[in-house]
Amino acid sequence: MSFRLTTYSIKFESKSFINPVDIIKKEYQFKLNNKIMKRAENKVVVVTGGALGIGRETCLLLAKHGAKVAITDVLDKEGEALAKEINKAGGVSKFWHLDVSKEKEVEKVYSEVYKEFGRLDSTVNNAGIAGVDKPSHEVTEKEWDLVMGINVKGVFFCSKHAIPYMKKSGGGSIVNISSIYGLVGAADLPPYHASKGAVRLMSKTDALQYAKDKIRVNSVHPGFIWTPLVEDFGKEKPGFRKQLDSLHPIGHIGEAIDIAYGILYLVSDESKFTTGSELVIDGGYTAI
Ligand SMILES: NC(=O)c1ccc[n+]([C@@H]2O[C@H](COP(=O)([O-])OP(=O)(O)OC[C@H]3O[C@@H](n4cnc5c(N)ncnc54)[C@H](O)[C@@H]3O)[C@@H](O)[C@H]2O)c1
């Protein structure tokens, strides 16, 4: 009511009329939008395998929502380019070369990230490979170890070296990217299935272990998502994309952004009561 009165008096006195109510509304709207937009404001987040696919989309979305993003990957050119893209758009980001299967590298990168940003709120353990697509009796030890080294040991190393910095920061959120293949079987990719099943249970164990330290640990289980990983997998298989689409009751496979939004939720404080859970984002694949 008092706003209205002010408005009328200004209108009466001035020809170049600016409605103060509109200004207040605009300012409020701006603040409101700002708040809604920045769901991970000032969170320091490491994303492994951040240069391509789901990792890349996650880095972009987290940066858009105010996070300081440490992009890590074995692909230096793509990772550096992404950091540049984010910083140019007004975000905060830096790239580190990191092979998650090498503990010394992992240890060094997490310590550098902590030094650079002064805290650590979250690690998105996303780096992963599909590995060989052979029946179990044909898989060699080397092929098995390669998948386990990245998909399982990589998650272990990153959690191990993130946790002390999260403790120093007063808590945190570990987001482990598993798969629908960590929940149900299919007649392909045996080492991959085993690795993603392991990630699911590692997440629950760590969730219980570190709840007292205010560190939440959750796994994400994407259905098929059109990324370089899946594209490569289907290269020599005609009709592959259509066949994949048909496996998802929703009628199609997913996009990297579908998973990135789930990760954003788990990184943000919106998920403060969520730990040890499995976030399934799969177009209904596992509902059958
Ligand atoms: N795309 C899917 O359909 C799908 C489904 C379920 C789960 N996932 C999981 O999501 C995660 C991301 O998959 P994506 O589809 O985006 O894959 P992608 O191949 O498109 O990207 C993976 C990224 O990880 C990086 N990487 C590979 N080995 C690495 C290592 N040793 N150290 C560090 N980085 C390494 C790659 O360089 C790449 O940038 C993986 O863990 C994958 O298993 C993917």
List pLDDT tens digits, range 182-192.
Answer: 999 999 999 99
Q: Of residues 149 and 34, which shows the higher confidence score?
A: 149
Which atom of ligand 1 lies nearest, measured to the CA of 229?
19
Output the pLDDT for position 198.
99
Two tokens at 267? Answer: 């990184």
191 lines ligand 1 (CB under 6 A): no
Residue 139: Cβ within 10 Å count: 17
75 lines ligand 1 (CB under 6 A): yes
Contact 123, 159 (CB under 8 A): yes
Contact 125, 174 (CB under 8 A): yes
CA of 126 to the centre of ligand 1 (A): 6
**Is pLDDT above 50 for 165?**
yes
Output the pLDDT for position 240.
93
Mutate to test the pocket of ligand 1, among 54, 72, 98, 148 (most ligand atoms within 8 A of CB): 54
30 falls in which pLDDT band (50, 70, 90)?
very low
Active-site residue set = 192
82 lines ligand 1 (CB under 6 A): no
161 falls in which pLDDT band (50, 70, 90)?
very high
On average, the pLDDT of the chain sits at 91
3 falls in which pLDDT band (50, 70, 90)?
very low
Output the pLDDT for position 33.
52
Average pLDDT, integer, range 11-18: 43
**Is pLDDT above 80 for 42?**
yes
**Is pLDDT above 70 for 96?**
yes
Q: Supply the DSSP string of 20-74, one letter for each residue.
A: HHHHHHHHHHHHHHHHHH-TTTT-EEEEET-SSHHHHHHHHHHHHTT-EEEEEES
Candidate from 21-30, 37-46, 56-65, 193-202 with smallest mean pLDDT: 21-30
Average pLDDT, integer, range 162-175: 98
Residue 279: Cβ within 10 Å count: 18
53 lines ligand 1 (CB under 6 A): yes
CA 168 – CA 205 distance, rounded (Å): 21
81 lines ligand 1 (CB under 6 A): no
11 falls in which pLDDT band (50, 70, 90)?
very low
What DSSP character marks residue 227? S
